Structure 1
Amino acid sequence: MRRALAGISFGVTLVITLSFLVPLGLLVRSQARERVTATAEQQATALAPLLAFTRQPGEVRQVLAETDPQGRRLSVRLPDGQFAGTPHAPRAELLRAVRLRKTSSLDVGGGWVYLHPVVLPGGGVAVIEAYADEDELTEGVATSWAVMSALALGLVVGSVLVADRLGGGVIRSARGLSRAAHALGAGDLMARVEPHGPAELREAGAAFNGMADRVTQLLAVERELIADLSHRLRTPLTALRLEAERLGGTTDVRRLTAAVSELESEVDTMISAARTPLASSALPDEDHEPGFCSVTELVGRRLDFWGVLAEQQHRSCTREVTSEATSVRMSQEDLATVVDTLLGNVFRHTAQGTALCVRVERSAQAVLFTVDDAGPGIVDPHSALARGVSEGGSTGLGLNIADRAVRDAGGRLGIARSPMGGARVQVSLPLVTPKGDAQGRAVRRRARGLLAR
């Protein structure tokens, strides 16, 4: 961009300079010629009265010698055809001037001549010739052109240097703003710019800093709210645990206690994340690698948990789980959240006794986890994945959270009509092997090390 600005400035300045320089050079040449020809015409006119007093060649030559010491500029053709001085005009032009008795000028080899006929007493006609050679006609023109060319070159070079300096300032300011924007987008909440450059870029830099400050404030308020809500949840969870322990050691109580423990663990995680300094928590960790888990094993454990509730609600829960390896690059906590969200939606939004079917299949490159139900289905699948859009009195966050977790793992979550008549929610996750991914992590670490050098 910097070279482009310099090139544009060079082209524009060159065109403008030439548009003035060429006419000015022609004008200088014309003025120099007019100056010499005017002088020659004056000298020829001044000799005309002399011929009225004498026509002797010797006397005329003496006057010419006084007027033109070098004997190159003036000559006279007398009525009898004799010459005083050296003529330069062709003989035909001299005779034509005698015949027409009119002044004229013409270019001859090596210069220019001015012919001034003079009618003498008695009817004779003498012709005074004033001559100027090419050097006299262009005297000073070359010097003037050289000076103007030097000025033009200085203007062009100066404009390129100024454009390069101005363009460099604009580019540095734009690059600084771009780096700060990328850093903020990557999670560096401390990224700011030092506004400089043109007024527009300074205004953009100040606006960026204001936006970054506002984003940091909003995130801080959100984290404080999360921490406050998490602390508030501790009291009812503690009361619920104590109540479950008081009820005894039945299967239902143990299941309830396990659910309360899991919820307390999630609350502790939220509190810990909220207490982490805002700037450091937003920065990406290059050494962090996602965990692995087996979809088959985790889905089996979660189905055992939800199966008890399915039996109590008289639901037919069919499971079709492959025995092949189904390792994906996703932590057990995230995958458990996705599975519980999809199964929980079935229990929450369909009537008791509604059947469901859970499948885990493996293809060549992906693992498919599918939940089908025989309920009313989802009217608007696109809106169901939007954050905050709810149906049936829910918070409108479950499917959105699950969708984001799946997309972060490189997968895809889709909603369609189930063959059972209700909704089908299918999750597709890339199939990986821990050994192959460990090699990939090693390669990525070596690459980061080389870039850091």
Structure 2
Amino acid sequence: MSAAERESATVAGAIAAGASKKGVEAAVAAAGGHPVVHPPGGQPAGHADASDVQRAASGGGSITASVPGGLVRLEPVTVAGKTSVVEVFVPGDELGENTGRDWWMLAGLALLLVGAAVFAVDRLARGAVNSARNLVQAALAVGGGDLGVRIQPSGPRELAEAGYAFNRMADRLITTRRDERELVADLSHRLRTPLTALRLDAEALDPDDTQIGIQFDQAELDRRRGIRRIRQAIVTLEGEVNQLINTTRKAVAAQVAAAPEPGVCDVSEVVRERMTFWSALAGDQNRPYQVVGAQMRIPVPVARAELAAALDAVLGNVFRYTPQGTAFEVGVSRRDGWVALRVDDAGPGIPDPEKALQRGQSNKGSTGLGLDIARRAAQSAGGSVSLARASLGGASIVMMLADADASPKQASRFGLVGRLARERSNRPVRPE
């Protein structure tokens, strides 16, 4: 149809320019010989009907009409008040040429795109489903009483965060159960003092002999029987308290014995692994960050999962309590038998560091246990946690850990952190 439009335009241009009959014939030949010119009032000599030619001439615009074997394009040309019509015939086989191949190509392309989309979604969904299934199985195991089960967080960021939260919850459940049993044992032990006093007072009472042959009146007999019941109740109560103490102590001892030893982990490896996870969220929130000193192996006597949970707790506070776009930095350094794991941010800081380090205390309305997790992890490695003002302007949380490859000495926290600051000043902050 585009070719027919060009051919008719060539002939129509010659007619409009006032070309002679030979000139029009030359234009028809130049157009490929397909156009047919219907002069004013002439009979159609092409494929179009007289009615279609008349309709095109009177309409003032080009039209397309169906004829046997294809289509005709009719374009009127008016010169000196007389209208000629240029006809170009387009066979039907040219209209449908190669359309079958084009449809098959489109169908194949559509199938290819659908297959690729299904494959990509299946890969993504399989990871999410496996992570969710592992989390469900672990939750059922914990619900069944197996508090030692843990999962390897994987899958999308949200499910991975849920996995780490589940592991921390399971650790907390073990600690809570042990603390509760210790509390029960302590309270039971405290009951021994008043029980001992009651037993001594009961022994100081009159005899409770009510044997037959001894003459007692009814009042005396009832009194002696009451004394006997008091002494028997005290003995029974002492036995129950002793049983409760022994049971809780054994349960706590067995739970502590079954707990895994702290072990040794590489601080640098834990930092790199956890920053791989947190860097995705930092990119989503446009937070510039950098990692300093995590290239070399630095072992510390802390379980890998416990150190990862402590670092996650501190970094989680940075993401939770500082505005989006706030820069932060994670640094690792070792000196004089100590390892410093530092997390600095450019946020508003912590107004009351002493209160923030107290268990259950928070100025942000949370549970206040995040820094306590870091503190317990540091104390398990013979270290501590301290808070200060960071060079970035916000809070600086430093976990001091014993170096597993060296004997810890009395090292200045500020000297170790100062070296981290000097190393950081030589490196640009990497935007994500």
Q: TM-score range by the shorter chain?
A: 0.3 to 0.5
Superposition TM-score, scaled by structure 2 size: 0.44
Superposition TM-score, scaled by structure 1 size: 0.42
